[in-house]
Amino acid sequence: MLTQSQLKLILEQTQEVAKEVGAFIRKERVHFDVSHIEHKGFNDLVSYVDKEAERLIVEKLSKILPEAGFITEEGTSEAKGEKYHWVIDPLDGTTNFIHGIPVFAVSIGLMEDDNVILGVVYEINRHECFYAVKGGGAYCNDTRIHVSEALNLSASLISTGFPYYNFELIDRYLNSMKSLMQKTHGLRRMGSAAVDLCYVAAGRTEGFFEYNLNSYDVAAGTIIVQEAGGKVTDFQGGTDFIFGRKIVASNGKIHQEFSDVLREFWG
């Protein structure tokens, strides 16, 4: 088991990796050619930037913790770790990146068995590095961050994501958003789940929910929310939010009210 001092060192090294790769992504965005887009599926876009960013991350993290395996979005590495594995989204917000919308991030989480113990999310355009280790609090650029103090939905701003494929559940989305629009300060769609989670952690929004996400979309962000004093569950209030594809994150104070609204439409 890693000690707190070992985790702290790994965290510092992981931040440097995220920033280095973020600089590469920022540079490539300046002259990005949309003809280089590939389609993994309907509206599921990827570019050489995603692939090269992931290759760089895997290469660098392999040196930091050689015994760890990887869960990666683009399949750069399928190495399995017995106890530790990195969960990586090299460019969370690819569609934003392709269209030149400045909300995208590098997301790196480290899991010990089934628990996330470290998370780094580097929001590339604002040069904001959010990070946390288990039991160590949450930070953005060396400043401690905390969730907001809002007590109810009526004082809250909520973020979410929209389905871009698999539209079978779109009515549930629209109905839950319709309800939340009438109960909150409003809804926001940033286009990056990693950024959404960090904004909850930093108190910029009070809650976030989304369906059909993958582990690499949320692993890093969830521990940052938790270490900032927030709460993360699946739609049923359970703990299956890393691999269960349904996630609700909040400042904790609105969590019950927020979850009740979602369960009305999601069961």
- Cα 198 from chain centroid (whole Å): 7
* Rg of the chain over all Cα atoms, to the nearest angstrom: 18
Alpha-carbon distances of 177 from 104, 163, 172, 237, rounded to whole Å: 23, 13, 8, 19
pLDDT score at 108: 98
> What CA–CA distance (Å, rounded) separates 22 from 37?
19
pLDDT score at 73: 83
Amino acid occupying residue 88? I
pLDDT score at 79: 76
| Structural domains of the chain ordered from first start | 4-144 (3.30.540.10), 153-266 (3.40.190.80)
pLDDT score at 45: 52
> What CA–CA distance (Å, rounded) separates 193 from 199?
10
H or E segment and range at residue 54: helix 48-64
Tens digits of pLDDT across the chain (267 residues): 899 999 999 999 999 999 999 999 999 999 877 766 776 554 455 678 889 999 999 999 999 999 999 999 878 777 778 899 999 999 999 999 989 999 999 999 999 999 999 999 999 999 999 999 999 999 999 999 999 999 999 999 999 998 777 788 889 999 999 999 999 999 999 999 999 999 999 999 999 999 999 999 999 999 999 999 999 999 999 999 999 999 999 999 999 999 999 999 988
pLDDT score at 46: 64
pLDDT score at 43: 43
Binding-site residue ranges: 73, 89, 91-92, 217
> What CA–CA distance (Å, rounded) separates 159 from 190?
7
Q: Tell me the helix, strand and coil percentages in the chain, rounded to 5.
A: 40, 25, 35
Closest Cα to residue 97, out of 160, 199, 18, 190? 190
Binding-site residue ranges for Mg(2+): 73, 89, 91-92, 217
> Collapsing DSSP states into helix, strand and coil, what is residue 46?
strand
Closest Cα to residue 77, out of 60, 94, 93? 60
Helices (H), 185-242: 193-201, 215-227
pLDDT score at 205: 98
Alpha-carbon distances of 257 from 135, 154, 253, rounded to whole Å: 27, 10, 9
pLDDT score at 47: 77
Closest Cα to residue 120, out of 19, 193, 25, 26? 19
